[in-house]
Structure 1
Amino acid sequence: MTDSFERFESPQGRSLAYERVPGEGPGIVFLGGFRSDMAGTKAAHLSQWARARGRAFLRFDYSGHGASSGTFEEGAIGDWAEDAVSAISALTTGPQILVGSSMGGWIALLVSRAVPERVAGMVGIAAAPDFTEDAMWAGMTREERVALEEEGRVEQASEYSDAPNVITRRLIEDGRRHLVLRDPLSVPGPVRLLQGTADAEVDRSVALRLLDHVESPDVRLTLVKGADHRFSSPECLALIEGAIAELLVETGA
């Protein structure tokens, strides 16, 4: 975790840790993934990239993640989307370019729905909209579904941590209230989607479905052969930089 983070209190009473880089707008807001935090490779890299260019940048931890308050297992998609809207509203000025990684791509779409006037464009990195329904719930065995209903939670092995992924009934039920691929989905400004073909967590079909579904003046998908879900190699980081730079040009910044 970065040593330079600050805190603010959200309207929901959550103490959220964040790092803000001052600079010109439109600013860039990084939205992390499920169980990730703002010390991750992509977030830290983009913080330095923005700082070197005098570009405003914000990264933060959702409640129950990283240095923010709360317990991860008590959280859900709606809570984390509220955190994102609160952070953007309190800590940034004007329209922002949202950079959403994995679950952060879903959060970015929910932010676009909630406060479209604050969104200049979006970069989705292995974006995972509706994953609680289309991946977690759809991939459960009958026994896991019964356990979820009766006990309120199930545990599954995680590729990225020794600790298991805890899936709660609330996470699944709340996710159903925030699905974005079942109804019209509009994103203000241009959209760039980046997806690795070797991603074992988010299949390329999700990126193609999002490409077809989202309504925006300019939507483009880049498939990177051999890239995995982390999308953090030097080449992938350069592609993220390039996507953001394209959006800055398109928005006249």
Structure 2
Amino acid sequence: MSGTFNHGDVRQLAYDLTEGDGPGVVFLGGFRSDKEGTKALYLEEWAGRRGQAFLRFDYSGHGQSSGDFLDGSIGDWAEDAAAIISGLTDGPQVLVGSSMGGWISLLIARAMPEKVAGLVTIAAAPDFTEDSMWAGFDEDQRRTLMEDGQIALPSDYSDEPYIITRRLIEDGRQNLVLRTPLPLPFPTRFLQGTADVDVPPSVAYRLLDHATGPDMRLTLVKDADHRFSDPECLTLIAHSVEDVLARAAA
């Protein structure tokens, strides 16, 4: 079932919902990604075969949802995720967060743990606006960002540059998860490629070391890149979700 979820008076979030058994699975996409990506569609097909409830959606300013991408921020997109999960799903869910979606899934786990049955992250990028973007800017770039309100960066995934806004950086600082306690009291699986140049394995090690929980594992895939979308990686994602579902039910 496809539809539009109204988040407040302004944001209309496009979604696709597969009815089925719970706990449901919710896919949270990455920065400038959308619900039509390879991993989201693969998991939807997987969920349909299992009779598993499944939700994929676009944050505001992404994909088919309303809004301008440049107006958005981590806090906005986390609010989108919290609202649509609360509004469209029943009971605790298994969150599958890819890249920025990994960060957002951690924010959801911190804000509303009662809605989380388990967590699978794929090349999770917690705090990337601070630790990757801002930390990687030189003084001229920082000055341009602060004075002009935005800066253009080249993209490896598109001919169009990334436009990074001052609001994205400043809002990101209000949503950091690696500076304060991060309890994950449910089955948690972190997946990471060793050839990921966008979110290197050191981020996964830092997340594993920082978070606390009774059932937490990190799986490294040699030579997998940030897309983590070849057949072997997709199979690993599905198996990881199945593992989390089984442990959540135990």
Take 1:74 and 1:210, find their aligned partners in 2: how far apart are those partners? 28
Tell me which residue corresponds to 2:95. Answer: 98
CA drift at 1:11 = 2.7
In structure 1, the residue matched to 2:51 is 54
Check conservation: 1:101, 1:126, Cα contact below 8 A.
Answer: yes
Please identify, of 46-55 and 184-193, the stretch whose mean Cα deviation from structure 2 is larger.
184-193
- Scaled by the length of structure 1, the TM-score of the pair is 0.97
2:18 to 18, 21, 29: 21
Give the Å deviation of 1:13.
2.8
- Quick check: 1:119–1:188 contact (8 Å CA) kept in 2? no
User: Percent of aligned positions with the same letter in both sequences?
Assistant: 63
Report if aligned partners of 1:120, 1:188 keep a CA contact under 8 Å in 2: no
Distance 2:150 2:183 in 1: 33
Matched with 1:9 is 6
* 1:203-250 deviations in Å (ceiling 9; x for gaps): 100000000111111110000000000000000001001100101110
Letter paired with 2:135: A
1:150 to 2:185 alignment:
no
User: How does 1:237-248 map onto structure 2 within 5 Å?
Assistant: 237-248=234-245
Partner of 2:205: 208
Superposition map of 1:173-184 within 5 A: 173-184=170-181
TM-score, with length taken from structure 2? 0.98
- Aligned position for 2:60: 63
For structure 1, the residue ranges without an aligned partner over 5 or more in a row are none
The offset of 1:188, in angstroms, is 3.1
| CA deviation string 1:49-80 (max 9, x = no partner) | 00110000000000000000000001000000
Query: Residues 12 and 128 of structure 1: is their aligned pair in 2 closer, same or farther, counting only changes over 3 Å?
Result: farther
- Total equivalences in the alignment: 250
Aligned to 1:130: 127
Alignment equivalent of 2:216, drawn from 214, 219, 228: 219
Alignment CA distance shift 1:85-1:12 (3 Å): farther
- Aligned-pair CA distance for 1:45: 0.4
Equivalences for 1:224-239 in 2 at 5 Å? 224-239=221-236
Tell me how far apart the structure 2 counterparts of residues 121 and 239 of structure 1 sit (CA, whole Å). 16
The residue number in structure 1 matching 2:36 is: 39
In structure 2, what is the equivalent of residue 74 of structure 1? Answer: 71
Q: Structure 1 segments of 4 or more deviating over 6 A?
A: none
Distance 2:195 2:174 in 1: 30
- Distance in 1 (alpha carbons) for counterparts of 2:212 and 2:8: 30
For residues 1-45 of structure 1, the C-alpha deviation after alignment (integer angstroms, 9 at most, x for no partner) is xxx631010136310000000000000000000000000000000
- Give 5+ residue unaligned stretches, structure 2: none
SS at structure 2 position matched to 1:227? coil
Q: 1:112–1:188: 8 Å Cα contact kept in structure 2?
A: no
Match for 2:233: what amino acid?
C
For 1:113, the equivalent position in structure 2 comes to 110
